[in-house]
């Protein structure tokens, strides 16, 4: 496994739409392993393949201490709403208030090639939405209700 370079805002790869994964190959499995290691190293909540320069519909989201690997994920249900602070490993130092569903259910394929569904509330719902947005070339700053000032960020992170 390897820690991959996280692409930063301004790199055109973050604005492109990712291709679906047709078959879970050894290369895809290695990418999932490397993405997990990269996410753990970066101390993030989620990571999408384009954030490491790979244009495939793959993301990983941490949920309750486990890492949920999502191949070709799509949100199939959502309910409620939340307006919370959000950041991104590809947009370091910038935080914004986003409007997201309070709960989402995602359908995806796992590393075993089997389809599954997973639901998340609160921060996990935001993370699922955030990472799936990356797969369509969208950043959280595109639809943020408000970007926090440097003073607000300093107060937030101590």
Q: Which residues are catalytic?
A: 131
CA distance 106 to 11: 28
CA dist 3 and 54 (Å) reads 14
Q: Going along 19-86, which residue ranges are E strands? A: 46-48, 58-63, 66-79, 82-86
8 Å CB contact between 106 and 73: yes
Distance CA 52, CA 48 (A): 7
Size (the chain), residues: 158
What's the burial of 125, exposed, middle or buried (CB within 10 Å: 0-12/13-18/19+)? buried
**What are the structure tokens assigned to 66, written together?**
């486990």
């Amino acid at each position: 496994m390897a820690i991959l370079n996280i692409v930063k805002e301004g790199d055109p790869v973050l604005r492109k739409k990712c291709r679906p994964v047709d078959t879970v190959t050894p290369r895809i499995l290695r990418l999932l392993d490397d993405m997990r290691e990269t996410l753990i190293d970066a101390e993030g909540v989620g990571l999408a393949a384009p954030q490491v320069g790979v244009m495939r519909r793959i993301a990983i989201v941490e949920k309750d201490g486990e890492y949920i690997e999502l191949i070709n994920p799509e949100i199939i249900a959502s309910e409620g709403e939340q307006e919370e602070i959000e950041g991104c490993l590809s947009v370091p130092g910038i935080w914004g208030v986003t409007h997201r569903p309070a709960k989402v259910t995602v359908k995806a394929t796992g590393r075993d090639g089997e389809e599954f569904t997973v639901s998340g509330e609160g921060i996990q719902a935001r993370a699922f939405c955030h990472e799936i947005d990356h797969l369509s070339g969208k950043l959280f700053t595109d639809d943020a209700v408000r970007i926090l000032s440097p003073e607000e960020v300093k107060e937030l992170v101590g």
